[in-house]
Amino acid sequence: MAGFKTRALSAVVLVAVLGSALFFGGYYLWALMLFASLTGFFEYTRAMRDKDNRENMKPDPLELMGYIGIAVIYGVLLIGQSERGALLAFYSLVILLIALMIVYVLQFPKYPTGKMMQVFFGVIYVGVMLSFVYLTRMEEKGLKLVWLIFIASWICDTCAYLSGMLLGKHKLTPKLSPKKSVEGAIGGVIGSALVGFLYGIIIELGDSSWGTAVVCAAGAVISQFGDLTASAIKRNHDIKDYGRLIPGHGGILDRFDSVIITAPIVFILAQVFI
């Protein structure tokens, strides 16, 4: 009972903080997403380490480049979503890769080649992809669009759980996540599409609520791969949770695993369908 209360209270606080940031946008959301990205990157790099080194809070030089890279990318986002801003973001990633190569060479043979690739992947996986929550909110219709990310991810999670519990018979990925079913996955997509359709009608987003349904359905499909990817990484590295930042829920990557991959998809599809 105490565990349920902790989880419920954490959920209320999370929704209040994130909801207000999504509503007001601007520097508030920017700062929150920067914090989430840096924290998520910490959780990711910690998971990638050997078991004996996971309690070490100090980043190594390659990981430090990753933190700096995420901070620079978010700094570039303040310039705006113009072509110049997008170009600077791309340049930042190129410069980050060069910096990682320099550290890799100067520290040779301290790091295996895979370590350099892990850090670069982590910056894109956590920092760049999560930044699309902020980018979506800062669009012209961003206040209406940004909620589609969470309809496509969190509503999908809920509907998949309920439909899987009631109808689930066929395992989706028996080796990776035995509790997930094909029926649950389909139910999650249908639930997200339906909520997205109703959301489009209520707030009159775009010319047709069918556009929001398509975006949410596609986002829901992708979100489940984000969830399973995070689970696969945990299984490969023998960890239960990425962190303990959110009591009862785990870390940023535990709670936002589906949001991370859904945010850029919703941003892209919204340009086409809405």
Specify the range with the lowest mean pLDDT, choosing from 71-85, 106-120, 141-155, 220-234.
Answer: 71-85
Sequence-ordered list of residues with C-beta below 8 angstroms from that of 208, at least 6 positions apart, any chain:
200
Which structural domain range is residue 244 located in? 2-273
Q: Which of 100, 134, 103, 106 is nearest to 118 (CA)?
A: 100
Tokens representing residue 113 in the block: 């080649």
Confidence (pTM)? 0.92
For residue 104, pLDDT beyond 60? yes
Let me know: does 222 contact 261? Beta carbons within 8 Å: yes
Cis preceding-peptide flag for 109 (omega within 30 of 0): yes
Q: Which of 40, 12, 60, 81 is nearest to 254 (CA)?
A: 40
Condensed to tens digits (0 to 9), the pLDDT of residues 215-259 reads: 999 999 999 999 999 999 999 998 988 988 888 788 999 999 999
pLDDT band of 11, cuts 50, 70, 90: confident
Specify the range with the lowest mean pLDDT, choosing from 27-36, 77-86, 127-136, 148-157.
Answer: 77-86
Condensed to tens digits (0 to 9), the pLDDT of residues 138-149 reads: 988 899 999 999
For residue 116, pLDDT beyond 50? yes
Spatial distance between the Cα atoms of 195 and 217, rounded to a whole number of angstroms: 10
pLDDT of residue 119: 97
pLDDT of residue 2: 47
Spatial distance between the Cα atoms of 74 and 99, rounded to a whole number of angstroms: 18
Q: Which of 96, 95, 113 is nearest to 104 (CA)?
A: 113
For residue 33, pLDDT beyond 90? yes
Q: Report the share of the chain in percent with pLDDT over 70.
A: 95
Condensed to tens digits (0 to 9), the pLDDT of residues 167-215 reads: 878 898 888 888 899 999 999 999 999 999 999 998 876 666 788 999 9
Alpha helices in 25-60 (DSSP H): 26-48
pLDDT band of 157, cuts 50, 70, 90: very high
Q: Mean pLDDT in the chain?
A: 90
Query: Buried b / exposed e across 11-23, counting CB within 10 Å, b at 16+?
Result: eeeeeeebeebbe
Question: What is the tally of structural domains in the chain?
Answer: 1
Spatial distance between the Cα atoms of 25 and 31, rounded to a whole number of angstroms: 10
Spatial distance between the Cα atoms of 246 and 68, rounded to a whole number of angstroms: 24
Q: Report the share of the chain in percent with pLDDT over 90.
A: 68
